[in-house]
Structure 1
Amino acid sequence: MKYSILTLLALLSLSCKTQVKVAEPTDKELTEKTTTKSDIEGHIYFLADDLLKGRETGTPENKIAAAYLANTLRSYGVKPNPESGDYYQRMTLEVPARGERPAQSFDSQNVIGVVEGTDPELKNQYIIYSAHYDHVGVRKIPNQTDSIFNGARDNAVGTTTVLAMAKNLAQFPTKRSALFILFTGEEKGLLGSRYYVENPVLPLEQMVYCFNSDNGGYNDTSIATIVGLERTSVGQHIKDASAAFGLEAIDDPAGEQGLFDRSDNVSFAKKGIPAPTFSMGFRSFDGDVTKYYHQPIDEANSLDYDYLTKFFRAYVLSGRKIGNDPKTPVWTAGDKYEAVSKELYKN
């Protein structure tokens, strides 16, 4: 009898254990799991190293940066460009003549990867996560010894933001699929993104949102500045995600700079795809923004990585919220790109 009671108790205990459900991790917890300060520092310090000589489009160092990005996506388990079978979209770019400078042409490459979504229907819709990885290279400046424009803020930070998203979604996909595009030629006139939208590897009408990341600098570490925040229907997701990591999301405070039309997002907006740009916090385009913008002092060791960790996590969580939302993102009613968007999506 004693043995029977003990056996009964053991079976009862086992039954209780099997009925206990472990809570699913939240999107915030999944974001924290993959987005770490050490990863962020590692990527930015490499991309902004003197050895890459400012990553100018068409140079061997730009190709080294592309190879680094492609192999990082491969290491995460991100699938390659479905058109080429590797992680590149190769192109020949032409820079028009300007002043005394003649036109020249050169070969370069966008870097592309894909993660399939989990929902049987929503996986046919894609969120694009994009940034440009090129910078302005090497230039001689009178009375300065440093001639390498490392581009830590512009745009090793943005590039690494997209890598953080890729690492997260490769492990924990959202309902919608993800297309990661790292552009060449932005500093030459948005050449990489312009080439892409004319030569997409997947149909543009399946791209429901482009979440671009580009930076000049920052002068307020309590905020994230999203150029075009209020121009799409998912602005609240970005505000909530930023708040979850102690940041306030604000819209572009420097409208006079025309920033929405100066980054790769506009190439997609012109096709009708909702496309804001996620940037480090600035309340005005001056001070510690212009101090570092396109200057050789824009080095990896001048960044605040505690702030960047919050900033990156806000981007990743925003992407997760948008990628899982049953409602498809759209332009805010009356936006100048609303008409072309309706034409693209046939709605």
Structure 2
Amino acid sequence: MKQLLVLSTALLVSFGSFSQKLVKDIDKKVQLSEIKSHLYFLASDELRGRNTGTLENEIAARYIAERFRSYGVKMAPGMDSYFQPVSLIKEVSPQKATLSVGEKTFNLGDDMVFYSSTNGTFSGEVIYVGFGLEDDLEGKDLKGKIVVAKAGNGNPDERLTPYTIQKQEMVEAAGGLGLVELYKPGRYPWKLIQYYFSGEKYRLDKGEVGGKSTFPSAWLYDSGDVLAYFEESDGALATITIEGKNNLSISVPNVVGYIEGTDPTMKSEYVMISAHLDHVGVSKADGDSIWNGARDNGIGIANMLTAAEYLSKNPPKRSVAFLACNAEEKGLLGSRWYADHPVFPLEKTVFDLNTDTGGYNDVTKVTVVGFNRTSVTPLFVKSAQAFGLTAIDDPLPEENYYDRSDNVSFAAKGVPSVSYDPGYTEMNEEITKYYHQPTDEPNTLDYEYLTKYSKSFIYAVWLIGNRTEEIFWEAGDKYEEAGKALYGVE
């Protein structure tokens, strides 16, 4: 027994001594100049905001791939390049559309926007269904009718679009011709809704040859009397006309690679590092119209490349995989595609460490979105402390950032995931003046802080890559059951 205790103590001392040496090595070798160089390229005006589907977006992907090549990051097994093609449908919004009911006509833009649509004329009786939820639709004959519902579910704090998707699916399955939701401005003004729904939208291409005709689903501006009008118009004839809608099939690149682990057994498992490479491109504003995306998500990609450079020379026991995913700003599409078409088996992916940030306002902190949701929380505390930082949980849980970034694509499949981000403690002007703004340029960043942050990130990856204790969700987490199914846990 004494010998066992002595051996255990010796191993702990040895591991602690090695960890201290590693921290010193990371501190010495991770250079501010490299991080700065990555960001000044990725967030340059020449890359014009790296919008999905543009040449500049492809140049950013090529830059990442060539950095991987220079660091010795390997191509994934079975792949002959670093690029994973992501198949998308690019939807060009209708150029003209009207909704006519009785004596009233509603016009595209002024009164109406489309969540989904296809060209054509659709005529049928109006049926008003309250909020259009499952209970509201029970027992109603929707076949051949234009279904009118109030947007959302009545809770002003919940997002509206998930309910639009649910209603659309139920109405289409019941034989309805179209869905019209009445939107009364509250949290989001109508102008913002118009901006969000106009122009180009993207979705995953699930084998829709030439672009599938999409069920007409519109939001109608309720200025105050529209709801009453439709309540009175139940049974009246309505006609929706849509022109100029176009769907195109396109392919955009995810960038994928890996570093092989050092342990003969553990190297078959992967710690995933993810970050999105795209941003929102160029606006139509006068003056500076390029949304450079230094923070969102230039920091994430620079962090990934810095980790790749260091870990390629100092790998942990587990292998480290990299996913620079595309089309995050279009709905997490690149990471969703990867999760459905994994290059590395998901059941062998023990953790996803994502980075996605709109900015930071506390340079003494690291904000871990999902901090207490997995068994590796102490490692985040340790990795931050090693470089003079404090790891904290998401201070704005009501915003549901966890389910709004690429980590959720892994979580939904059961892979324990967090987003390890630069520090923020509130949503204030220091965030909003840069978030999705032309002001988000590389010369506005604090590189001393970002270097410390990146060092702590690398140490976190290394600690997870060497952990021998269980890596899993905390009991009761909403993704725990998916994790049990993925890993075969009882």
TM-score by length of 1: 0.90
Residue 110 of structure 1: aligned partner:
254
Q: Unaligned stretches of 5+ in structure 1? A: 1-22
Is the 8 Å Cα contact of residues 127 and 211 (structure 1) preserved in structure 2? yes
Matching residue within 45, 52, 60 for 1:57:
52
Q: 1:197-216 alignment to 2 at 5 Å?
A: 197-216=339-358
Residue 35 of structure 2: aligned partner:
40
Matching residue within 60, 78, 97 for 1:83:
78
Residue 121 of structure 1: aligned partner:
265
1:177-209 CA distances to partner (integer Å, 9 max, x unpaired)? 111010010001101000001111121100010
Instruction: Identify if the C-alpha distance between structure 1 residues 100 and 241 changes in structure 2 by more than 3 Å, giving closer, same or farther.
Output: closer
Q: 1:1-347 alignment to 2 at 5 Å?
A: 26-95=21-90, 98=115, 99-101=197-199, 102=245, 103-141=247-285, 144-347=286-489
1:222-277 CA distances to partner (integer Å, 9 max, x unpaired)? 10101001101111111111011111100000112110011100000000000100
Counterpart AA for 2:333: L
* d(CA) in 1 for partners of 2:374, 2:30: 26
Counterpart AA for 2:385: A
Quote the offset at 1:310 in angstroms: 0.7
Counterpart AA for 2:44: D
Please state whether the residue corresponding to 2:429 is helix, strand or coil: coil
Quote the offset at 1:95 in angstroms: 4.2
Shifted more, 68-77 versus 285-294: the winner is 285-294
Please state whether the residue corresponding to 1:289 is helix, strand or coil: helix
Quote the offset at 1:293 in angstroms: 0.5
Q: Which runs of 4+ in 1 moved over 6 A?
A: none
* d(CA) in 2 for partners of 1:249, 1:100: 39
Instruction: Identify if the C-alpha distance between structure 1 residues 27 and 328 changes in structure 2 by more than 3 Å, giving closer, same or farther.
Output: farther
Please state whether the residue corresponding to 2:388 is helix, strand or coil: coil
Instruction: Identify if the C-alpha distance between structure 1 residues 149 and 30 changes in structure 2 by more than 3 Å, giving closer, same or farther.
Output: same
Counterpart AA for 1:252: D
Is the 8 Å Cα contact of residues 31 and 313 (structure 1) preserved in structure 2? yes
Please state whether the residue corresponding to 1:288 is helix, strand or coil: helix
1:296-337 CA distances to partner (integer Å, 9 max, x unpaired)? 000000000011011111100111111111123111111111
Quote the offset at 1:120 in angstroms: 1.4
Please state whether the residue corresponding to 2:431 is helix, strand or coil: coil
Which has the larger Rg? 2
Counterpart AA for 2:348: Q
Task: Looking at secondary structure, tell me which structure has more strand per residue.
Answer: 2
Quote the offset at 1:100 in angstroms: 4.9
* d(CA) in 2 for partners of 1:100, 1:290: 23
Q: How many residues align?
A: 323
* d(CA) in 2 for partners of 1:156, 1:339: 33
Is the 8 Å Cα contact of residues 131 and 264 (structure 1) preserved in structure 2? yes
Is the 8 Å Cα contact of residues 34 and 164 (structure 1) preserved in structure 2? no
Counterpart AA for 1:67: R
1:139-176 CA distances to partner (integer Å, 9 max, x unpaired)? 112xx400000000000000111111111110011001
